[in-house]
């Protein structure tokens, strides 16, 4: 008999795993920016959902939470949660993602 409910595996989450594999760590909006350049359309809300879901499946961990100052429409401070790969992440090491990330990195890094 087939299992009921949503399957645990997700292509969106697997794509995020690929991005984080080459980034090392990243916050939600940064991951979303890379995602929309590499993969089919996906909402920012969906990226945040899959990051949260990935925490419970062990695919992601929270590396750090940083407060950063700036001039934002909602105020002068933002809290960024940085994610990294967890113990259950299984990257396939997509060369297209590697090329994209390396191209985007600044020379001084």
- Domains, the chain, with CATH or none: 11-98 (1.10.10.10)
Query: H helices of the chain, where?
Result: 11-23, 28-38, 44-57, 95-104
Enter the pTM of the model: 0.86
Rounded Cα–Cα distance for residues 93 and 24 (Å): 13
Per-residue pLDDT reduced to its tens digit, 63-105: 999 999 988 888 899 999 999 999 999 999 999 999 999 888 7
């Amino acid at each position: 008999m087939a299992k009921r409910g949503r399957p645990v595996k997700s292509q969106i989450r697997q794509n995020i795993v690929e991005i984080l594999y080459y980034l090392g760590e990243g916050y939600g909006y940064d991951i979303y920016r890379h995602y929309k350049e590499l993969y089919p359309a996906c909402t920012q809300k969906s990226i945040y959902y899959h990051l949260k879901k990935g925490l419970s499946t062990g695919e992601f961990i929270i590396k750090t939470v940083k407060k950063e100052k700036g001039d934002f429409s909602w105020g002068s401070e933002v809290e960024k949660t940085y994610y990294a790969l967890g113990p259950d992440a299984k990257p396939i090491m997509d060369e297209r993602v590697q090329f994209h990330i390396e191209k985007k990195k600044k020379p001084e890094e």
